[in-house]
Amino acid sequence: MGFDLDRFSAVVDPDFKCNLCGKVLEDPLTTPCGHVFCASCAIPWVVQQNSCPVKCQRVSTKELNHVLPLKNLILKLDIKCDNYARGCKRVVKLQHLAEHTEMCDFSPAKCRNKGCNEVLNLKDMDTHMRETCEYRPVEICENGCGLMLLHKDQKTDNHCCLKALKGNNSVL
C-alpha cells in the first residue's frame, strides 16, 4: 500500500499513483506491459491472478521489475510527518521520513510506570512520569513494609502494609 495523497504538501503527479490502491507508489514495480504498481499491491495480485492488474496480459512475479528512477523521484517529494495528527507540523522529504519519525517528539509513547496505560506524545512523557502520573513512585513506606508508595496510594492514604506485602510476595 502506498502513501495517502493528503500527506503530501503539494499536488502529486498522477504518474506517481498506484492503479490498484490509488495512493502514491511505495517501492514501485513495473510489469512487462509497462504498468506500475506498489510492490505490496502488485505481488499479491500477480500471485493470485497470474496477470497484470490491468488484466492486459499474463504475468508472473519473476517478470516484475523495480523502477529505481521513479522510486528516487518519489523519495524527493515533501510529506507530512507520520505524527501529523498528533501535532507534528514537520514536512520532510519522503526519503528522510523514517529517520524523522524515529526521533519525532510527537511519536506515541506508553507510560513505563507499572499500572499506567496512558499513551502520550514522546515530548510529554518525562513530565508525565515525574509529575502527573498517578502510578509514579513517590517514596518508601515508613510504616514498616519498606515498599515503594505510588502517588495514587499516597494521595488517598490507601496503603496497607500487610496487603501490599502479600501482593508483592505473590508476584515473587
Tens place of pLDDT for every residue, the chain, 172 residues?
Answer: 899 999 999 999 999 999 999 999 999 999 999 999 999 999 999 999 999 998 889 999 999 999 999 999 999 999 999 999 999 999 999 999 999 999 999 999 999 998 999 999 999 999 999 899 999 988 887 777 877 778 877 766 777 777 778 766 665 5
pLDDT at res. 142: 76
Q: Compute the distance between CA of residue 75 and CA of residue 94 in angstroms, rounded to an integer.
A: 5
- CA-nearest of 135, 139, 94, 103 to 121 is 103
Is residue 137 a contact partner of residue 120, using CB atoms and an 8 Å limit? no
Burial 67-99 (b: 16+ CB within 10 A, else e): beebbeebeebebbbbbbebebebbbebeebee
pLDDT at res. 52: 93
pLDDT at res. 12: 96
Cβ atoms within 10 Å, residue 106: 21
pLDDT at res. 153: 73
